Structure 1
Amino acid sequence: MAETAYGLWPLVVLNTALFGLFAASFFHPRSGRDWRAMGAFTAFLLALFTEMYGVPLTVYLLSGWLGSRFPALQPTHAGGHLFNDLVGWTGDPHLSPFHLASYLFIGAGFLLISAAWRVLHEAARTGRLAVTGPYARVRHPQYDGFLLIMIGFLLQWPTIPTLAMFPVLVVVYLRLARAEEREVAARFGKAWLAYAHRVPAFVPRPGRTPSTPSLDEPVHRQQPGGR
């Protein structure tokens, strides 16, 4: 493989499809809202892998500006590990602190999405509000999972497009979450209001896990696509 390792458009398509399908296998999208969440995540993946294997737009733009100060910042595949270049990491880029941290974020994101879906599926099966497992700490653990995965990818391969997309996607997921909450509140009434009062939306509170409502609380059926 050439040193530049770019222009590999089949790898762009293959990696975007593989990671997208892998995420879908954890997330199990069902509703239109779920597919919009998956679509936003897939757009992020496409922008990421386009620069990773297609055209290194970010490296080209920054190498002219910072190239004399950071010699490692070159339009090669290794040069795409931007944080490594900026701190002068000279070892294997896949073993740098940024890359190792990215593995933790990506793995934690996929695990969180999977754990949340199992709780949500069981809640739908029994006709109850999902309030256990990850849902005992945050109201939208699956969206948190997607954000953790994206943070992980940004740590190992930051690009101008993905850095610009990330805050936009945060707003997209926030709006999707608020729309879901309005629907769930209409179905679950007081049970949802009590749960939402105890449990934060995205960032867990430090300390003890919040208590969950009694299983005898009257609730309505929640479909797997809702949260």
Structure 2
Amino acid sequence: MNHDMPAYGLWFLVFLNSAIFVMFAFSFFKPKTARDWRTFGSFAAFIVALFAEMYGFPLTIYLLSGWLQTQYPDLDLLSHNAGHLWSTMFGGTGNPHFGVMHILSYLVIGAGFYLLSSAWHVLYFAQRANRLAVTGPYARVRHPQYIAFVLIMFGFLLQWPTLLTLFMFPVLLVMYKRLAVSEESDMVSHFGAEYEAYAKRTPRFFPAMSDSMSE
């Protein structure tokens, strides 16, 4: 085991990676209202918690060290690769960065950012014109931006699961659901029957497989 190159304690990388992903998401979401900031803030907290364990202090590895050492006696707990727990538990060999779970995580994260960008483009012009956003991703679901945040977080869980982010994920799902319902109430107050008709034909989170299917 060679620890000449430390895998943790790299707080500059924690700051750098957190800043990149948070600012990238911010550039698309551009929070304005208190609700927007709560949504974005919860996402940012997830990202910071993730990279703090990925490069700062491996809390999950520390808490599970006894079990991991018993189940996987050859595992170097202080190595960066040990943090890829899905690869370890599913018997992955070789560099986990080239494993199926890691590649899948990039695809899911990429899809999330693409959806976030597409949704923001539609919403931006709709808000400027004071009209409903009903085209692009909004033609399929009522809250594509929340779905995008969930996809990004889920992608990171596929790549680097931690106890904290695994706990935060379902909490954030509930939070986004409540925010979505609250947002819909505001839309009804502002757009009235127009939004009610839109909500009736457009699922909240899960796109219908056909026009005849409802949420």
TM over 0.5: yes
Rounded to whole Å, the distance in 1 between the matches of 2:105 and 2:167 is 19
Query: 1:190 maps to which residue?
Result: 193
Q: 2:86 aligns to what SS in structure 1?
A: helix
* Rounded Cα–Cα distance in structure 2 between residues aligned with 1:185 and 1:14: 41
Quick one: structure 1 residues 48 and 127, their matched pair in 2 at CA, closer, same or farther if it must change by over 3 Å?
Answer: same
Distance of 1:195 and 1:40 partners within structure 2: 28
Look up the match of 1:62.
64
Q: CA deviation at 1:136?
A: 0.9
In the TM superposition, 1:159-198 aligns within 5 A as 159-198=162-201
Q: Which amino acid aligns with 2:89?
A: L
Alpha carbons of 1:136 and 1:58: their partners in 2 closer, same or farther (altered >3 Å)?
same
How many angstroms apart in 1 are the aligned matches of 2:4 and 2:198? 55
Aligned-CA RMSD value? 1.7
Q: CA deviation at 1:40?
A: 0.3
> 2:130 matched to 1:127?
yes
Identity of aligned residues (%): 57
Shift in Å, 1:72: 2.8
Partner in structure 1 of residue 42 of structure 2:
40
Question: What SS does structure 2 have at the residue aligned with 1:120?
Answer: helix
Change (3 A) 1:45 1:2: farther
CA distance in 2, matches of 1:26, 1:174: 20
Q: Corresponding residue for 2:156?
A: 153
The one-letter amino acid of 1:57's match is L
Mark the CA change 1:73 to 1:63 in structure 2 (over 3 Å): closer, same or farther: farther
Q: Is residue 7–residue 78 contact of structure 2 (8 Å, CA) maintained in 1? A: no
CA–CA distance in 1 between the matches of 2:169 and 2:4? 31
Structure 1 letter corresponding to 2:126: A
SS in 2 for 1:139: coil
Decide whether the 8 Å contact of 2:143 with 2:204 is kept in 1: yes
Q: What is residue 77 of structure 1 aligned with on the other side?
A: 80
Q: 1:91 to 1:99 in 2, by over 3 A?
A: same
Q: Once the two structures are superposed, what CA deviation does each residue of 1:93-126 show, in whole Å capped at 9, x if it has no partner?
A: 1111110110011000001011001111121233
| Alpha carbons 1:73, 1:82 under 8 Å: kept | no
Contact 2:7–2:79 (CA<8 Å) still a contact in 1?
Answer: yes
TM-superposed CA distance for 1:4, in Å, is 4.2
The code of the aligned residue for 1:62 comes to L
Distance 1:118 1:110 in 2: 12
Determine the C-alpha separation between the residues in 2 that align with 1:68 and 1:197.
54
**Which protein is richer in helix relative to its size?**
2
Per the alignment, residue 222 of structure 1 pairs with none
1:121-143 C-alpha deviation (Å, 9 max, x unpaired): 12123332111110011100001
Q: Aligned partners of 2:59 and 2:168: how far apart in 1?
A: 15
| TM-score normalised to structure 2 length | 0.92
How far 1:34 moved relative to its partner?
1.1
Q: Distance in 1 between matches of 2:43 and 2:212?
A: 29
